[in-house]
Structure 1
Amino acid sequence: MFNRKKVVHMTTVHHPLDPRIYYKECTSLHRSGYDVTLIAPDSSDLKDEEVRISKLKKHSSRLKGMIFGTMNAYRKARKLKADVYHFHDPELIPVAWLLKKKNNVVIYDIHEDYETGIVQRDYLTPTLRKILAKVYKIIENRLTKNMELCLAEKYYKEKYPRGTCILNYPLLQTSLINHDTTSPRVNQLLYTGNLTTDRGALLHARLPSLDPDLSVHFYGRCSEHLAQQMKQKAGVGEERMHIDGVNRYLPKGEIDAAYSSRPWLAGVALFPPTDHYMKKELTKFFEYMTAGIPILCSDFPKWKEFIDTYQCGLSVDPYNDKEIVKALNYLRENPEEAKAMGRRGREAVLNHLNWQKEEEKLLKWYDSLIKKDT
């Protein structure tokens, strides 16, 4: 296809084995013949990885990491003299701007709606949030004019009409696709992914208090402070709330094992309404579906439309305890329909909503960008 074009993926924020960056994009490009290097923070989780990783030194604070990590990433990237630079953090926009030349391609991979994300930072004053969001947008618009935009979500097209959607759909994993979903469902709920208040951590924490027989299991990074808040919110149900990931990164393998560890009643995503998430198709949706687990999520219009389209779960008001209990009872009292929800979700992933489909788009896009640039 081509003569081993050199590709450099860059992140100073994400874990080096981030599923989208490492297992999907970098691995797909590597296996298709590209010479791929990932510049990313060092981690004890790294062993003999398939894709070459150039490690960045870890720093004691986020500020030091942003300053010195970014400078180090630039030095490493410049030395590699890549044909394609593909970066994953807004902090790296100035670095990418410096790396952009007439004879290379620079891609900004937009994982989040960063503008609305800044507005939600509760450790900043409302006024400062709005100012920073506007400043960020101005810088982004000016410095990314000559870059390609890779969008992880469909709705990002509203803000970035020239962007190319390479959606963050799941890998088709045999262990999840083939595991048994016919066993009677246990009275246990599953949540996967990072735990934060804007991802509904405190809403999920109160679930055990709604039913004395219900337990909730969380698999994802959670700060010690937030874990304590969740325990307080759980109240009498504290012993039936389990968090695996307090102050640590959970490797993808551990999360995958959780999906198939038991026949979960549902996978939950009871988020509070925010501009940042209301239109976003969560990665956990597709992973729950791959594992054949019914979804119980907030009834945001886009989320409800998704659930209704694929008939793969139930959507509820995340603040309405009676509605949540009614949905849980429905899943328990209608086990065949719960199994059917899981089955329909899995079929949708197998047929349409999977990384293998997106991989084809990624490789064709890369090929067209390189041809255009030569």
Structure 2
Amino acid sequence: MKRICHIIFEHRIFDGRIFFKEAVSLAKNGFEVILLVPTIDKRSLGLKKEIPLPNNKIYESKGIKFQTYYYNKKLPKQFNIRQYFCLRNLLKKLIQIDADVYHFHEDGITLEMAAQLKVVMPGKKLVFDFHEFFIHSYREKKKKINRINEYIKLENEIVKQADLIITVTDFITAYYKTLCQCPIITLFNCQSERIFPTTKESATDDGIFWVVNEGRLLFDRGLKLIIEVAQRLKHSNIKFLIIGNLPKAEERYFQNKTKQYQIKDKFHVTGFLPYQEVPLWLKKGKVGLTFMLSDNAKTTISNKFFNYLRFGIPVLSLSHPIIDDIMREYKLGYIFDENEAKEIAAQIEELYHNKKLHLKLSNNVRKAFKTTFNWEKMEQRLLAAYNSMIKVGI
């Protein structure tokens, strides 16, 4: 049995793509899978101390074995002291695990380790999973802009050494094909009935026409536009369901604007939810919003888009160079520009009143999920790529 080690630092330990999709898919198809995560106190898993470690220090879920490396937050960040000791602890653990394949997912600390892996552990397989177009991310974030040259250097090392590169869109795949010769595959963040099942609890209908935004609500994910749309909707039975939380600045803006417009009663905000509680709320949705504004977001497809498809929720999207083609081909909903709050509100009203139209779109969405955009299709790609990579190494 081949041993696979997924390595994370910033991601939550039960991340949808890393844990529930990729790791579980590999484990249930005959691989031994270890998820290596940080611990900040040697008593819990993850940077946010998500779950306590058992007394025997062994934790396992869905066939995945969890192991830890120590990230000492008491050490100073100056001169990269904290990072140095974290990398040392991570390397010791990677050697101890002695996996056949090491699968990385992030920039930052684990990116540095990925770039050095083949030097330290020759003969091991290196997989890098680009969840986003990191170069755009570095350009957009003030904290990262000064480190863009460092990132590019590390990225170049990785693409030279990688045995398999995985991306989330064909656009990013095309970019990396210009940089390396190794196999590259696209794995959309499609959802699965296995991961997001329909239960009796989630299937109840409260009679509200819920307009859903799934995920943390940020300025660059349409917060201002959503409030302007809500302010234009007159029917009291149309309400907005925010499945997630808002950071402090966005929360202040949200509270001030909804109070000014007197529309607080039009919103329900769940706050942060564990991943497997999301479908209980998502199933209520009648319309799903995906208002992605940043340049980086326009090179990927948000998870919420695929989650809406899982539950047959028609989509209202801002124009997006990747999503637009999917929306038009499968007739999943409607596309708007950022300045069309009035038109978006009118379309929501139309879908509320025209049940025949809403049902037609919902059926289109369900069909697209069943035939094309489901994780089981992506799982086949993942397994084929893994089996081919491992066979080459025999």
TM-score if structure 2 supplies the norm length?
Answer: 0.82
Find the residue that maps to 2:129 and give its secondary structure: strand
Residue 55 (1) aligns with residue 79 (2): no
Corresponding residue to 2:160 among 132, 137, 145: 145
Give the unaligned 5+ runs of structure 1: none
Alpha-carbon offset, residue 202 of structure 1? 3.1
Corresponding residue to 2:266 among 228, 235, 240: 240
Q: State whether residues 213 and 243 of structure 2, in contact with CA within 8 Å, keep that contact through their aligned partners in structure 1.
A: yes
Find the residue that maps to 1:175 and give its secondary structure: coil
Aligned-partner Cα distance in 1 for 2:228–2:379: 39
Matches within 5 A, 1:104-119: 104-119=124-139
One-letter amino acid matched to 1:228 = R
Find the residue that maps to 2:270 and give its secondary structure: strand
What residue number does 1:89 align with?
Answer: 106
Residue 5 (1) aligns with residue 20 (2): no
Find the residue that maps to 2:128 and give its secondary structure: strand
What residue number does 2:278 align with?
Answer: 255
What residue number does 2:370 align with?
Answer: 350
Q: Deviations over 1:109-160 (max 9, x none)?
A: 1001111011121x45xxx72x533442233113431113111222112311
Q: State whether residues 7 and 83 of structure 1, in contact with CA within 8 Å, keep that contact through their aligned partners in structure 2.
A: yes
Aligned-partner Cα distance in 1 for 2:276–2:225: 26
One-letter amino acid matched to 1:285 = F
One-letter amino acid matched to 2:50 = S
Aligned-partner Cα distance in 1 for 2:341–2:176: 38
Alpha-carbon offset, residue 95 of structure 1? 0.7
Alpha-carbon offset, residue 10 of structure 1? 0.4
Aligned-partner Cα distance in 2 for 1:71–1:268: 43
What residue number does 1:74 align with?
Answer: 91
Aligned-partner Cα distance in 2 for 1:178–1:343: 21
Matches within 5 A, 1:26-65: 26-41=23-38, 42=45, 43-45=49-51, 49-50=61-62, 51-56=64-69
Cα distance change of structure 1 residues 182 and 26 upon mapping to structure 2, 3 Å threshold: closer
What residue number does 1:228 align with?
Answer: 252
Residue 200 (1) aligns with residue 216 (2): no
One-letter amino acid matched to 1:72 = N
One-letter amino acid matched to 1:90 = D
Q: State whether residues 153 and 168 of structure 1, in contact with CA within 8 Å, keep that contact through their aligned partners in structure 2.
A: no
- Count residues with an aligned counterpart: 360
Q: Deviations over 1:2-45 (max 9, x none)?
A: xx111100000100100110011111111111111101242435
Aligned-partner Cα distance in 2 for 1:318–1:5: 48
Find the residue that maps to 1:118 and give its secondary structure: helix
The more displaced of 364-373 and 176-185 is 176-185
Corresponding residue to 2:361 among 315, 325, 341: 341
Alpha-carbon offset, residue 300 of structure 1? 2.8
Find the residue that maps to 1:329 and give its secondary structure: helix
Cα distance change of structure 1 residues 356 and 284 upon mapping to structure 2, 3 Å threshold: same
Cα distance change of structure 1 residues 65 and 107 upon mapping to structure 2, 3 Å threshold: farther
What residue number does 2:117 align with?
Answer: 99
Give the unaligned 5+ runs of structure 2: 39-44, 53-58
Alpha-carbon offset, residue 207 of structure 1? 3.3
Alpha-carbon offset, residue 284 of structure 1? 1.3
Identity %: 22
Q: Deviations over 1:192-222 (max 9, x none)?
A: 1233322223332443322243421111243
Aligned-partner Cα distance in 2 for 1:179–1:299: 34
Residue 23 (1) aligns with residue 47 (2): no
Alpha-carbon offset, residue 58 of structure 1? 6.6
Cα distance change of structure 1 residues 241 and 166 upon mapping to structure 2, 3 Å threshold: same
Aligned-partner Cα distance in 1 for 2:355–2:302: 25
Cα distance change of structure 1 residues 315 and 35 upon mapping to structure 2, 3 Å threshold: same
Alpha-carbon offset, residue 98 of structure 1? 2.6
Alpha-carbon offset, residue 271 of structure 1? 2.4
